[in-house]
Structure 1
């Protein structure tokens, strides 16, 4: 019988609900993309979002006394992670959704990131990979395969967009490993500023080059970009910082396998998105895979 950790017994109500709240907020990111993309191209949308986050986060980091990188190499490492986890990852997700990938499917594909991270950690970081983690990887890949062969995705454009989303998942996986290797001691508040500033500087020229760079400032778009920039990029990040400070970050990983299902339910309620029975089976398999990897990691 497992004995509860003493810290768990004295956890405040906020500490108990914060992990679930974080995952719920994280799930809304895919919906915010779907809500705002009809009014701006994906690169334009993200370039403006990154710029807003950087401008808002900088004074918060300065006012809170966050410690900034002291060496240029540290700054470079954080910038590289930003390009992988913001520019490439979110750029791929938004582009996929803009070209017809359902929000629930997008969440499922990138939700395999913990599985791929566990597999690559054995090769890159020398961490031991347990048999249950290989099982989780197999379940996750099988689940995505069942979702991607959904007839709604079997046209050239949508299948290509799903491929872009897979590339995004690889980008955030590589970014996670890179951050673990080179950026583990850098303050999260500072990381938010640097990564969003660098990504804005990269994304805005790309938007000017590849998109009309026009925005329809409708109430829906304003709500979407405000939600993603303020509530998600700032609020959820600060919530994660709170969880790390109080030792509850591990509980977040135990709930991440629910993200695709939560996103799919909200996408159905808000946008009428539906998944085929085969896709639902795939989502269940993928969730089981992520759960297996997270459970083994905590053990």
Structure 2
């Protein structure tokens, strides 16, 4: 592969990541009615570990060499897989609508920027232009999910429990992203993801054992599981790991703003869910805001 091919691949990574990550709520719609959240996620982690293990054995990839590397990867795995996914799926299973859960988790870029500004982290400070982009991105996100928040759907309600799960997911993905950027050294994405998934499985297994509901295998749940393993974990999580290693934290997390609008478009294409003028405006505002945040990082980090 030439340097030009590599550069083009890197430029397309954010767009591919957003498209893959946005399918998470689509998968939940297909699979969640047939499975308890933590049991589904535990099976997903274990199947993903098997897939990565085969890939690693064939490619003879080098594993992390020190105990601290394993610990740091384990912490990020427990947060970004176990905590984030567990919180989101538990909130949706508890009756929270996808719009509200997406909005709560969508606060992540602003939360990340506030932390970076408060700590004054070198090479990660947020400029005035990026602050404007973050705020515009959040405003556009609110416009996209506003109809779902105000109109709601049957079974779409907020309780202290499901709201707490959603906030827990927000805190986990934010902390995991910052922790990985600060402590995890660049290493092979396949072995890194495997260590992270092992940690996620360890923290998820006790919760799965406490769930009284049985996993019902059928075409929908099997399809949701297959895409969760192959698309979301092997594809999406690997891309997220690479993006965090290559880009500034605020720029990478701002991509999360694009997930709810992309999901809205997918739901319109797949399920016929209406897209209003407000949704279109929200998508445009979000895209412009993300462009303001990502562009400086693209020159200094992703494009080199």
| SS of residue in 2 equivalent to 1:128 | coil
Tell me the residue number matched to 1:259: 259
**Separation in structure 2 between the aligned mates of residue 12 and residue 186 of structure 1, nearest angstrom:** 19
Tell me the residue number matched to 2:136: 139
> Which residues of 2 match residues 46-195 of structure 1 at below 5 A?
46-103=41-98, 105-124=100-119, 125-126=121-122, 127-143=124-140, 147=145, 150-152=149-151, 157-158=157-158, 160=160, 161=162, 164-195=165-196
TM-score (normalised: structure 2)? 0.78
Greater shift in the superposed pair: 197-206 or 100-109: 100-109
The alpha-carbon distance between structure 1 residues 72 and 148, as it changes in their structure 2 partners (threshold 3 A), is farther
| Cα shift readout 1:224-277 (whole Å, capped 9, x = no counterpart) | 0011112221134556789899x8999988966433222111123334545776
TM-score (normalised: structure 1)? 0.79
The alpha-carbon distance between structure 1 residues 279 and 99, as it changes in their structure 2 partners (threshold 3 A), is farther
The alpha-carbon distance between structure 1 residues 244 and 166, as it changes in their structure 2 partners (threshold 3 A), is closer
**Separation in structure 2 between the aligned mates of residue 291 and residue 159 of structure 1, nearest angstrom:** 35
Please say if 1:298 is aligned against 2:298: yes
Greater shift in the superposed pair: 130-139 or 69-78: 130-139
**Separation in structure 1 between the aligned mates of residue 135 and residue 244 of structure 2, nearest angstrom:** 30
**Unpaired segments ≥5 residues, structure 2:** 300-304
| Cα shift readout 1:44-88 (whole Å, capped 9, x = no counterpart) | 111111111112212312332222222222111111100110011
Greater shift in the superposed pair: 157-166 or 212-221: 157-166
* Offset at residue 11 of structure 1 (A): 6.2
| Cα shift readout 1:121-179 (whole Å, capped 9, x = no counterpart) | 23343432211222233334445556468224599943653553343123111101101
Determine if contact 2:136/2:286 at 8 Å carries over to the other structure.
yes
Work out the number of aligned pairs and report it.
291
* Offset at residue 284 of structure 1 (A): 5.0
User: Superposition RMSD on alpha carbons, in Å?
Assistant: 3.7
